[in-house]
Amino acid sequence: WQTGSLRVCGKSRYEVRLPLPQDVGDAIAADLECRPSTCRNDLLFLRTIAPCRPFRRGDGISSVVKRIMKRADIAAPVKGAHALRHTAATEMLRHGVPLDKIGLVLRHRGIDTTAYYAKADVALLKQVAQPWPEAL
């Protein structure tokens, strides 16, 4: 909390610190304060069904996201936690964030991987496309 950053562990125990915006920090703090005393843990994502503990497998978050997407009747080509990554990348791209910065947030080692997540947005392309000069 003191550094204003969040420690994120990814695949192969790859760890990175990301900036923690105030509103996100406030939301996390509110979540932690609402936890029952039996659920005290420094991990952010825990099972909500007793016993309150971290997910057993790495796909716990994806399972939750898939279930919520199905319940909300959201049809998307990408399911689970990757849907969140695709959405985040697309939104950052829409707001003019360069691919290298998006890759930093998504913890990618190469820009090619980031380009895969940041699919071209046709509406955005129509806004920024320059008129094609007429052939003489």
Residue 98: asked if its preceding bond is cis (omega within 30°), the reply is no
Q: For residues 53-74, give the mean pLDDT.
A: 84
CA atoms within 13 A on the CB side of 58: 6
48 and 89 in a single domain? The answer is no
49 and 83 in a single domain? The answer is no
Query: Domain range holding 97?
Result: 76-131
Task: Please name every residue paired with 46 in a beta bridge, in sequence order, or none if there are none.
Answer: 54
More confidently predicted of 23 and 121: 23
Q: Do residues 99 and 114 make contact, with C-beta atoms less than 8 angstroms apart?
A: yes
- Dump pLDDT digits (tens) for 17-37: 888 889 999 998 898 888 887
86 and 40 in a single domain? The answer is no
pLDDT band at residue 16, thresholds of 50, 70 and 90? confident
Q: Note whether residue 66 is domain-resident.
A: no
Query: Quick one: pLDDT at residue 23?
Result: 92
Query: What is the token pair recorded at 101?
Result: 């910065």
Residue 133: asked if its preceding bond is cis (omega within 30°), the reply is no
Check residue 54 and give left, alpha or beta (phi > 0: left; psi -120 to 50: alpha).
beta
CA distance 112 to 39: 40
pTM of the model: 0.62
Strands 15-19, 5-9: parallel, antiparallel or unpaired by DSSP? antiparallel
4 and 46 in a single domain? The answer is yes
Number of domains the chain is built from: 2
Q: Do residues 9 and 15 make contact, with C-beta atoms less than 8 angstroms apart?
A: yes
Q: Note whether residue 59 is domain-resident.
A: no
Percentage with pLDDT > 90 across the chain: 6
